[in-house]
Amino acid sequence: MTVALELSGIEKRFGARRVLTGVSLSARGGEIVAVTGPNGTGKSTLLKIVAGLLRPTRGEIGLALSARDFSSPEQRRKNVGYVAPDLALYPELSGRENLAFFAQVRGESGRDFGRALERVGLGGREGDPVGVYSSGMKQRLRIALATLFDAPLLLLDEPGLALDAEGVGLLEALIRERKEAGALILLATNDAREALLGDRAVDVAA
């Protein structure tokens, strides 16, 4: 599947507060684009807008998959893998049950949850309720959910948050693997090492 993302003049205002002032970007599958900028300049907001979770004040978002148009917010939501610090999973359910629930909602219950959890190093703890996970383990679970459905567009907002060295290694391996598979990856980060993963960078504050 080929992916093409086209952002033109994305602006977001919360009341009188201006967060994004005209971000444009054109990228295609197999690319990793690092989204950079100081705190509070709208990196997370931009990813939420691309994910279809937030409406831009101005600007257009175009997403094409295999040369077909998937630009509406509904279509974008279904086709992104999204990791963000404010996205949470159900604390009463185990890691495995969380993945199984979202898979059931999407009608993709045939996915290999065991392997997905193994890939992020949660193999031994998949039956524990997420409420007792450490923050690093929760982050690993978010990554497992975001990569579970082979989404063509991967939006990672501070994906290295709370991860130990092993976790960062697993994350980078997963990002490379998705890139090889032809996915487009937007990586919002303040970590200089993580930003190096990007083939190029777009600065939202510029």
Residues that bind another protein (CB under 8 A): 13-16, 51-53, 55, 57, 73-74, 77-78, 80, 82, 84, 86-93, 97, 101-102, 104-107, 129, 145
Least separation in angstroms between CB 145 and another protein:
7
The alpha carbon dihedral of 175, 180, 181, 182 has a sign of positive
Q: Which is nearer to another protein, 13 or 193 (CB)?
A: 13
Least separation in angstroms between CB 9 and another protein:
16
How many Cβ atoms sit within 10 Å of the Cβ of residue 150? 14
By CB atoms closer than 10 A (0-12, 13-18, 19+), residue 52 is buried
Q: Which is nearer to another protein, 53 or 161 (CB)?
A: 53
Q: Angle at which helices 135-148 and 165-180 pack, to 10 degrees? A: 10
For residues 174 and 170, what is the distance between their CA atoms, to the nearest angstrom? 6
For residues 202 and 206, what is the distance between their CA atoms, to the nearest angstrom? 9
Q: Which is nearer to another protein, 11 or 118 (CB)?
A: 11
Least separation in angstroms between CB 107 and another protein:
6
Which residues on adjacent β-strands are paired with residue 8? Answer: 60
Least separation in angstroms between CB 99 and another protein:
11
Least separation in angstroms between CB 108 and another protein:
10
Q: For residue 200, give both structure tokens.
A: 């190029």
Q: Which is nearer to another protein, 88 or 173 (CB)?
A: 88
Q: Which is nearer to another protein, 57 or 172 (CB)?
A: 57
